[in-house]
Amino acid sequence: MFASLLLLSLQAASPAPEALDALLRREVAQVALAQVRRMDPSWHPAQRDCAGLVRFTFRGAYRRFHPERLASPLWRDDSGAPSDFADAEMLLMHSFVPLGRDEAARESLRTGDLVAFRQERDAGPLFHLMLVVRPEDKAHAPTRVVYHPGEKGAAVRTGILQSLVTEAPLEWRPVPQNTAFLGFFRFKEWMR
């Protein structure tokens, strides 16, 4: 009897996986949007780029709602081993899964998903990530993207996803015709 009561109290104390994912997604949105207003001083300046924003917001969300998960790093390195650091390419390859590149994938986006690009440069490929912030009630607010442009000292920016689709320079449009657009991605642990 006592063991049954203890088990029930433990189950009540920890939310169901779907509820935990919803809490984590909301916190990712809060942390990301807070960086637009004023970058958190605990976000180390050397880590301030697009991948750094993803790492910082996810760690912040987990720190608040699932701190025990941070006992092991969230990210994976080239070999697939847990790692505290992953650049944009490593995040896409080992910690996120592709959702697609078409309108249906765009419509299925949820907060915490990524919009990813790869630009070919003389110095090699340049990856760029944008975090999706989608309101729970789509009728009251548009889906946004939040991103750091990568330049030292630059501010975190936000914009409307649909505007990016229709108004951005072609190389930054998340549309199938853009070969630099890698697609939309979701954190592997949120693939329920």
- CA dist 179 and 170 (Å) reads 10
pLDDT the model gives residue 82: 95
Residues in the chain predicted with pLDDT less than 50, given as ranges, are 1-12
DSSP state of 178: -
pTM of this prediction? 0.90
Residue-wise DSSP of 37-103? HS--TTS-GGG-SHHHHHHHHHHHHHHHH-GGGGGS-SEE-TTS-EES---HHHIIIIIEEEEESSH
Helix (H, G, I), strand (E, B) or coil at 139: coil
Residue 97 identity: V
For 32, residues 6+ apart whose C-beta sits below 8 A from its C-beta are 53, 57, 131, 133, 146, 156
Nearest Cα to Cα of residue 76 among 59, 89, 67: 89
Answer yes or no: are the C-beta atoms of 111 and 134 closer than 8 Å.
Answer: yes
pLDDT the model gives residue 5: 41
Q: Which residues pair with 100 in a beta bridge?
A: 184
- CA dist 84 and 92 (Å) reads 15
pLDDT the model gives residue 13: 55
pLDDT tens-place string over residues 58-75: 999 999 999 999 999 999
